[in-house]
Structure formats: structure tokens, C-alpha cells
Structure 1
Amino acid sequence: MTSWWRDAVIYQIYPRSFADLNGDGIGDLPGIRSRLPYLSDLGVDAVWLSPFYLSPQADAGYDVADYRTVDPIFGSVADAHLLVSDAHDLGLRVIVDLVPNHSSDQHVWFQQALAEGPGSPLRARYHFREGRGEHGELPPNDWPSIFGGPAWTRVADGQWYLHLFAAEQPDFNWDHPAVADEFRTILRFWLDLGVDGFRIDVAHGLVKEPGLPDVGGLAEWHLFDVGESPCFDRDGVHDIYRSWRAILDEYPGERIAVAEAWAPTLNRVANYVRPDELHQAFNFSYLGSGWDVAAQRAMIDDSLAATAAVGAPTTWTLSNHDVVRHTNRLMHVNNGEVAGKKPTEVDQVAGLRRARAASLLLLALPGSAYLYQGEELGLPEVIDLPPEVRQDPAFHRATGQDGYRDGCRVPIPWSGTTAPYGFGPEGGPSWLPQPESWAELSVEAQTGVPTSTLTMYREALSLRRKVFAAGDDLAWRDAPAGVLAFDRGSSFRCTVNMGTEPAHITTPGEVLTTSGPVKTENGTTVLLPDTTAWWSI
């Protein structure tokens, strides 16, 4: 029997932006519970929840103060238990975010370390160092923060602590045995509650090069382009994940772990999913690949080869909570833009057409697919949020990650013609403002409409379960210039026109579903630009 996760479709929920049941303008766990039937009907296999732990929310919950409880803005541990139970009743699995690279500066360990001062055993659980310079006034090394500025903050007693992200997110020292022990117990806490796995935040960052050496005056790092560095993708992380895999394997039901691992090469990423380590790793290289036949074919081939070498499935994703939604982003990737950079205005009709084509392509590939909430509605990036409402901690910094992640985190629309569009009670608040145009993109507005993006996703996910066998190899087929064509098994073909002109192809069989209008006549099919078709052959 094939493991469920090898070809699963996993839907990312950003809790504060999914569904608000108590009307405070912030999504919550009871709100998610109320919408689980929608996700079951959509046809996904599992949901991944971004952090809902107790947190000061300096970085939208990725600054965790207590890993074993739920922040009151989202609900309670009892609500989490009910959510997992309801999801299981609907045949959905639940993956939760785990943030092991850093804690909140309000975590009890860090607060005690500050109080106890230099030499405290608790300081050894983080990276505290003396400064450089005559009076220790300079940071211990030249590492920049991903969010801009130096990766060090000085405390009142003169020592400095490391934070690769915001100053409110001090990095754990994973050389300390207490840190490893703590996270093993955190894993068991949530596994005992019934979760089916973990998405591991900054999985490549836990281990730093001994001595924390300088990087040579590098002004900034970008989360999506760190390259070779002394604090990311160190070989020591793999011992940690082997110990975690042993814990996961103790539990019934194939509990899994998924790495958010940015590494210089696909082969380095594949190291995280060797048989005795994690189960999946996000394929961020695919997320940033160009929209043309050569780029797509090369990236798909390289991705499949890298994971096949270690016996793991490939994952595919186009959007998440950290990057510009692909409805906007894909209109620029051929111009040298990098996923996650500042979004710009695009033709929304053309953007949605290409996004639909890319989504249908992704869902046809062998392996596991990750969807980000709202992409099934064709939501665009919100690019005109006023500065006073933005909450991305990098937004007001001069360098580092660009600070425009709020645009993909705007609460999604469910129903009605006025904000908050069913996200919360009618006339209620929303932690980020929703565009007026979203009334036309709501679940209610798209349900039952044959040409809607929501209908396309529902049809594709249903077909995916019926047509594909897990592990079906991908076989490329000859096609006209600008067209990508491949078969899965002996009875399915996918064709994608990535060119700028209509393509004429020999009709390969019966149309199963398409991302846009397809005209078939006398054995010939006209495939318009930015259009994907699935065929039964």
C-alpha cells in the first residue's frame, strides 16, 4: 500500500486569515473547524496550519513563547484537539507548524537567561556572545538578519545575542542537549494530541558553523537566496532529523515531517528526505522557475531526479505565506524577478489565466502538491495595503527580506458583497483590509460556476484521485514550439501552451479538464497561450 503522503494534496491554512468565528477580526481555530467541510469537498488530503502557539505576534506567530499551548487569539488546546478530531472524521489529516530555529524573546528560557546574566547556564541555550571592539560595542560577527540590519542585538549587561530573523526571535543553540530534549517532548505533545505531522520552519538553519565565522562583509541575506553560508544547511542538522524520524515512526498512521529547507542545490535539499530523515521537503526551486518550456522541463526533470535518488517524492508548490501570490508573480518571472520580491501591478485577467494554467500543470505532476489558501479562488496579491496596517516585521527595515508578505496574507472571502465577505460576522473587522473586488472572487460567488477557478480546482482534484496512480512516471512527448507535453501512465496526457501565440496540436484524446477555452475540430486542437489541458488518451 502506498504511503498517503507520497502523492497527497496538502492545503496551507494561515489561521489569522482563514475564518474568524468570534468576530475580533483575526481568524481562529473554531473558524477553521467550521470550514473543514469546504476543504473536504474541495478534495484535498490534508491541511497544514501555520503557527497558532502562544506568541507576542512579533512575526505573526513565528515567535513562539510557549510551544505547548494555543494563543488565546486563536482559541485553546481543547479547540486544537476538536479541530484534529473533526478533520479526521472528514478524512483530512492535520500538519502543524513547528518553529525550532528560534523562540520568542518572551519565552521563559530567554527571559530567565536575561535575568541571570553572563555565564548563566540558560544563556548557553541561545547564542550569547561578547561583542567586538574596544568596549564590546560591535556585534560578534558580520552576519546580517534576514529581516534587515545585523543579526545581533546587545542586552543591558553588554552581551549580544544572535537572531537570524527579528530581534524578538533569538536563535536556539542546538549544540546544547537541553534544546534537543525540549523539542523531542514538544513533538510528542502534539503527536499525542493526534496531529499527523509537522512542517518544520527554517529546517536548514538550526545548526551553525562552529565559531560563528564572519561571512566577509555580506550586506544582506534574502530568505530565498542565501547560498552557501555558515548558518544555513550545515550537515549537523541531519542528526537532529534522524532522531525526530525515530519518534515519528513510533506513532501509528504514518506521521510525517516536511522541511522548509532552502539550500544551494536540489541535491542538497534532497539530503533532508533520505530514508531515515524527513518525509518531504518543499521544492522552492520550482516555485521560482521561469514560465517557459525549457525552464519548466529542466526544473521538473532535475527535481524528480534529485528526490528519486533518495527514494522520496517530489513536492510542488506555487504560493505560500512568504511569497507573492502566483497570480501576480508568474507574470514577471521571465523578467528576472525573484519569488518573494516586491509585487507590482499586473493585468489581472492575464495573471489569472497564467496562474490557472500553472496550477493545472502542477497538479498533473508526480509527487505531492501544496496549495495555499485562496489560490483555488484565483486571489491576486494585494499590493496597495497602506503602511499603517502592514505587520510584516521586515517592512520598515532598509534591507533584508522585502517586507511585502502581508499582501498574500489578506483574509480570504467566503460570501456576501461587502467586507469581510464571510471571513467574520457581517460588518465586522478584518486584521488586514480586503479589496472591494473580492466580492466576485468569494467561495459563494464561484460555487457552481462552470468557468470559475474554484470549479477548476475541484474538478482537477477529483480527477487527480481517479486518474493518477502514485508513482506514475512522467514521460515527455514531442510538441510544437512553446508547448510542454507529458504523459503519466498509459492513459493521461497534460499539454501546456507557454508561448505567446495559439498552438495547433494533434488532439491526443478526450478532454478531461482545461484551465481555459480549448477548441477541438477535425482531430486538431487549438491551445491558446497560457492554457493547460488534461487528456484521457
Structure 2
Amino acid sequence: MSPADDGPWWRGAVIYQVYPRSFADGDGDGVGDIAGIRSRLDHLSALGVDAIWFSPWYPSPMADAGYDVADHRDIDPVFGTLAEAEALVAEAHALGIRTIVDVVPNHCSDAHPWFQAALAGGPDAPERELFWFRPGRGPNGDQRPTDWVGEFGGETWTRTVNPDGTPGDWYLHLFAPEQPDLNWDHPGVRAEFEDILRFWFDRGVDGIRIDSAGLLVKDGTLPETRPGRPHPFRDLDGVHEIYRDWRRIADEYPGDRALIGEVWMPDRQRFANYLRPDELHAAFNFDFLGCAWDASALRESIDGTLSAHAPVGAPATWVLSNHDVTRHVTRYGRADTTFSFAAKREGTPTDLELGTRRARAAALLSLSLPGAAYVYQGEELGLWEVEDIPYELRQDPMWERSGRVDPGRDGCRVPLPWTGDEPPFGFSPDGAAAPWLPQPADWKDRTVRAQTGDATSMLELYRMAIRIRRADPALGDGTMTWLPAPDGVLAHHRRPGFTCLVNLSDVAVPLPPHTERLLASGPLDDDLLPPDTAVWLRTAEPTPAGPGTA
């Protein structure tokens, strides 16, 4: 975040997502952990990020990689201890890096004490009111209460067995059966999560990332989904009361504590509702993440994002990859450069050289836009999606639940390469167990050590871009102005004196007048910007114009 920006840190921060299983393994069991993260904080400090977001590290049976949480107030032994997490927060703060933890409020694990009590107590157990237990349809109750389709695809109800062995009620799970949905109409659920927020804020964390933030409230009449009618569980108005309560808690704490929502919402106005001044501080921008590598599409996404955020005074966020989506080096190397869960398939022809060139340009675009930027671990190394993981090693439930059609999300979760010429590339100590997912041998050129000091590497590009961003008062939070540009080229200006050009056309284009070249994503051809290349320039202020100002 630019030092000239006096606003809250989260408005212009560069936030780095750590997926703990795959960042670094400190104890040698082949799974990343808190000890590994602590040992590699120097990498994040050198990268220059403002904050770290940790994906779930709580006790969990790991049916969905930790998003099936059994206890939000502790650490799973595979990752370490609560004391280690507290030490990590303190050590990151000592380096000037803030911390964000993931909270999963829509559902819990079927191993959670509440759910276990709900099962053990039978139909009259009071704990059943904390979930969505319902009788089945049909004469024998053997038909699901609704035909809702889950977020992973497939059915959303599982039938229980009563303590006496007879068939029982059904319970709702929008995700895997091991993730029963919580009933947010129950005051006990609301009080529990408000206490969880305080638990982590009391331990010094600076922000909460909210998983599946738009799904918490359900229509209790359980209507089927119908075109033209309100959806029974997505983006119901009652969810905003929850976040207004959470905002009051965050505002009780010093230091600009932030609430950041995972809000998959195609309607931009509905998306902006989550960002009203008394609700969430920020939300992930999936429209930009899924956008095609196309100048007009990207401009429309950027304009739409900024226009949606402006009325509520919230900062935009810019995201290229995360733990759920195909890495953008791979996406950008394909004929179809968009992202959609519905379209994800294996065996798609991919030009990784082209994808890498575009990913470098996309990094400069995203880091130059107004608002906050997110970096998913490994994108600073130029890692690609690993698509040849043996079937028997895959762990993502999306793989099986799709009938082995969707390859799942394991390919973007492969452990990071740090040093050396062969796996595990320093991910684990010498003599350790094999990493929980196999790493490609070709990653020997993508390790942190191999790229450090190489001015042409992806890592050094990110380090330099973030360094410039932190130092330049034009970058981070603020406004931007589009500049006239040839077809297929994006050009925008940030005051004072900063211009970014991205050439998405298939021909080189001339650079505008400038006094300095700050950074380019690839080699320039004298005063020409080649295709799939971006450049940051020091320029004079443009003449004020009407249309195009954002």
C-alpha cells in the first residue's frame, strides 16, 4: 500500500493467500504447516506483501481440505498448535505484515460436537435446531425434502439413522455430506460465530475472510428453485443483518480490523450490497478473475467493478487465482481464457509459454488498478496448473462428486517449490515423507531460489512491481482514468504521473510520450510494446476529459 495513502490498510493492500497444506512443511510429514510458514516468512517479507490470508487451519476430518471445520478456536494437529499460530501472527506483525484468518460460517464438519449431539440425541435432540433437519417426502419419508443442487453439484440432503436403527430425518448440506449447513435463524449459531470473531481478533489477527458469504440464510419454506423467483438459499436479504452485527464487532477493535467476503454474485448491484458502509469492508472480485484475456472484456469488467463499488465507497479487489480455480498461467495459455467451474475439463490444449507471458502482463495490470490486490501462493513463481495428478492421489471431493468429469482443484494446490533440482524442492526437510500431492519435475526452474536474482523471472517481476506500488503515491487505493489507445490495448492513468499500458492485440503498438519506463512485463522493442505485454510508465498528467474517467 502506498505510504501516501492514509486510509485503512485494507483499501490498497497487497494480500497474499497461504494455503497451509501446500506452502511449506516444517515437521517432515509431507503436509505444509505453521512451522513451515514461520520458516518462510522471509519470502513474504522480501515479496513486499501487506497481509497474509491463511486458508482454514482448524481441526477437521479434511473431507474438503479443512473447509469442514470441527472447531474454529483451535489448530488441527497436522498444522501445529494454537500457540504456534499466535506466534506466527506476532512474527508477521514484527515484519510489518498483517494477518487474515478464514472463517467458514455456512456449515461445519459432521464431526463438530453440535452435529454429533444432533445425531446421537435422535429426532428430539435440541441440537437439531442448529442445523436443517427435515423429514423426507413421500409416504415413507424416503424422498429428499427438496431437489436443490449443491455447490459441488449433486444432492444436498443426506438421510440419518435414528439411535434405534430406523431411518430418520434428512439434513441439508449445500456442499459435501460431511459439511452440514448451519441454521442461521437460530440465535445460538449467531452467538457462536460472534464469539469466534472475537476469539481471533483478541489474538491479534487483522481480518476475517468469510467463506461462501452469500449462502448463510435459507428460505425456511424450502421452495424449489424456479426461474424468475428468488433463490431459496443464495443471496437472501437476511444475510445482511448478520454482517451488520459482525461489522459492529470488528469496529470495536483498534487497528482497522477487516471483514472480507467470498461473494460469488453475477449481479453487481447485489454484490455491492455486501459492501455498504455498515457491512463488509471488501469482497473478492470473481468477475475479473474469470474474465477472458481480451481488452474489451477486461475493460468492461474493470469499469463494472469500479462503478459497483463507487456508490458504497468500498475498494475494489483484483484477483487472478486462488485455491479453487485453475491457475491463470494455464488459463491464459488456452483458446478459451475464461474461468468457469462448469467448463473445467482435463486435456485442454495449453501453451504455457503464452500463458506465462500473459500472466506477467496481467500481474502488472492487476497491481496497477485502484484498490487491493490478491496474490495466490505460487503465482509469484509462475506456477501452472498440475493436470496429471494420478487419480488415486486426488483428494478434492469435486473430482468424485462430478463423476470424475471435473478434475477438481488439486491441480492449483500442489506444494510450492523452494530450492533444489528435484522434488520435493525444499518444501519439506531432508528425509521427509513425500509431499501430499506430487510436484512436477519441470518446476526446478520455478523454485524461489532459481528465480531470486534473475531479473527476467516471474518472482523478480512481482517483487519489483510490489516495491514500486508501495513507493508510488499514485498506486493502491484511489481513482483511475482511461486513456485513448489502439484497438486491443488497455491504457489507464493514475495520478500523479503514472500510466499502465497492456497490449492484448496481436501487433506491437507505440508507447505514449513518457519520461521513464518503470517496469515492463517482457522485453520491449525500442518504443514499441509487443503483444501480450504490459508496461508501467512515468508520464505527464493527461488533459482532463469526460467519458472514460473511473
Aligned to 2:483: 477
- Is 1:349 aligned with 2:353? yes
Structure 1 residues 335 and 372: alpha-carbon distance in aligned structure 2, compared to 1, 3 A threshold? closer
Query: In the TM superposition, what whole-angstrom CA distance separates every residue of 1:135-171 from its partner, at most 9, and x where no partner exists?
Result: 1111000111222321000011320000000000000
Shift of 1:397: 2.0
Give the alignment of 1:69-218 within 5 angstroms.
69-157=74-162, 158-216=168-226
Superposition RMSD on alpha carbons, in Å?
1.6
Q: Is the contact made by 1:146 and 1:400 (CA closer than 8 Å) also made in structure 2? A: no
Match of 1:270 in 2: 272
2:284 aligned to which of 263, 282, 289: 282
Q: Which residue of 2 is the match for residue 359 of structure 1?
A: 363
Q: Supply the distance in 2 between the matched residues of 1:240 and 1:335 (Cα, whole angstroms).
A: 36
Q: Match for residue 459 of structure 1?
A: 464
Change (3 A) 1:293 1:369: same
SS of 1:143's equivalent in the other structure is coil
Name whichever of 331-340 and 193-202 sits farther off.
Answer: 331-340
Contact 1:54 1:66 in 2 (8 A): yes
Percent identity, aligned pairs only? Answer: 56
> CA contact under 8 A between 2:71 and 2:112: conserved in structure 1?
yes
Alignment pair present for 1:444 and 2:446: no
What is the CA–CA distance in structure 2 between the aligned matches of 1:302 and 1:245, rounded to whole Å? 26
- Count residues in correspondence: 524
Indicate which of 395, 414, 417 corresponds to 1:413: 417
Determine the C-alpha separation between the residues in 1 that align with 2:297 and 2:445. 34
Counterpart of 1:458, as a letter, is R
Which residue of 13, 35, 51 maps to 1:46? 51
In the alignment, the residues of structure 2 paired with residue 109 and residue 471 of structure 1 have an alpha-carbon distance, to the nearest angstrom, of 42
Cα distance in structure 2, aligned partners of 1:501 and 1:463: 28
TM superposition shift of 1:401: 9.4
Task: Determine if contact 1:19/1:32 at 8 Å carries over to the other structure.
Answer: yes
Q: C-alpha deviations, 1:317-355, integer Å up to 9, x for none? A: 000000000001123474665267235341111110011
Deviates more, 1:170-179 or 1:389-398: 389-398
Rounded Cα–Cα distance in structure 1 between residues aligned with 2:218 and 2:255 = 34
Tell me if structure 2 keeps the 8 A contact 1:149–1:399: no
Aligned in 2, Cα 1:507/1:399: closer, same or farther, shift over 3 Å?
farther
Instruction: Tell me the alpha carbon deviations over residues 100-138 of structure 1, each in whole angstroms, 9 at most, x when there is no partner.
Output: 000000000000000111132110100000000111111
- CA distance in 2 between partners of 1:97 and 1:268 (Å): 23
The secondary structure found in structure 2 opposite 1:463 is: helix
CA distance in 1, matches of 2:477, 2:429: 44
One-letter code of the match for 2:158? T
Distance 2:206 2:402 in 1: 40
Matched, 1:9 2:14: yes
One-letter amino acid of the counterpart of residue 268, structure 2: L
Aligned-partner residue type, residue 463 of structure 2: R
SS at match of 2:123: coil
Query: 1:425 aligns to what?
Result: 429
**Equivalent residue for 2:546?**
none
Instruction: Give how far 1:21 is off.
Output: 0.4
Distance in 2 of aligned mates of 1:402 and 1:70: 30
2:279 is matched by which residue type in structure 1? E
TM-fit CA distance, 1:209: 1.7
Question: Displacement of 1:60 after TM fit?
Answer: 0.4
Compute the displacement of 1:230 (Å): 1.4
8 Å CA contact retained: 1:366, 1:473? yes
CA contact (8 A) 2:59 2:70 kept: yes
Q: Which residue of 2 aligns with 1:377?
A: 381
In the aligned structure 2, how far is the partner of 1:399 from the partner of 1:49?
Answer: 30
| Partner Cα distance (2:112, 2:374) in 1 | 31
Encode CA deviations 1:347-366: one digit per residue, 9 max, x unaligned. 11111001111111000000
TM-score of the aligned structures, taking structure 1 as reference length: 0.95
Q: SS where residue 240 of structure 1 aligns? A: helix
* Residue 305 of structure 2 is aligned to residue 303 of structure 1: yes
Q: Distance in 2 between matches of 1:399 and 1:160?
A: 23
Offset, 1:427: 4.7
> 1:27, 1:140 → 2: CA distance?
40
Q: Write the distance in 2 (CA, Å) between the matches of 1:335 and 1:360.
A: 18
Deviation at 1:193, TM superposition (A): 1.0
Query: In 2, distance between residues paired with 1:411 and 1:110?
Result: 32
Instruction: Give the CA deviation at 1:264.
Output: 2.8
Change beyond 3 A, Cα 1:153–1:401: farther
The residue matched to 1:484 in structure 2 has which SS? strand
Residues 1:333 and 1:108: Cα distance change in structure 2 (over 3 Å): farther
Change (3 A) 1:199 1:394: same
Does the aligned pair in 2 maintain the 1:147–1:401 contact within 8 Å? Answer: no
Question: Structure 2: how far apart are the matches of 1:29 and 1:513?
Answer: 34
Contact 2:291–2:337 (8 Å) recurs in 1: no
State the Cα distance separating 1:528 from its structure 2 match: 1.0
User: Residue 361 of structure 2: SS of its match in structure 1?
Assistant: helix
Could you tell me which runs of 5 or more consecutive residues in structure 1 were left unpaired when the two chains were aligned.
Answer: 219-226
What residue identity is the alignment partner of 2:189?
Answer: V
Amino acid at match of 2:218: K
Report the alpha carbon displacement of residue 409 of structure 1 after superposing the two structures with TM.
0.1
Q: Distance in 2 between matches of 1:458 and 1:127?
A: 48
Does the CA contact (< 8 Å) of 1:345 and 1:383 recur in 2? no
Q: Deviations over 1:289-323 (max 9, x none)?
A: 12111111111111011111101000000000000
Q: SS of the residue aligned with 1:263?
A: coil
Deviation at 1:391, TM superposition (A): 0.4
- Flag the 1:29–1:290 CA change in 2: closer, same or farther, 3 A: same
SS in 2 for 1:273: coil
One-letter amino acid of the counterpart of residue 417, structure 2: P
Q: Deviations over 1:41-78 (max 9, x none)?
A: 10100000000000000000000011111000000000
Match of 2:543 in 1: none
Q: Name 2:3's counterpart in structure 1.
A: none
Larger deviation, residues 187-196 vs 142-151: 142-151
2:482 counterpart letter in structure 1: W
Q: Is the 8 A contact 1:480 1:504 kept in 2?
A: no
What is the alpha-carbon distance in structure 1 between the residues aligned to residue 386 and residue 110 of structure 2?
31
**Aligned-partner Cα distance in 2 for 1:463–1:17:** 28
Relative distance call for 1:48 and 1:335 in structure 2 (3 A) is closer
Distance 1:335 1:19, change over 3 A: closer
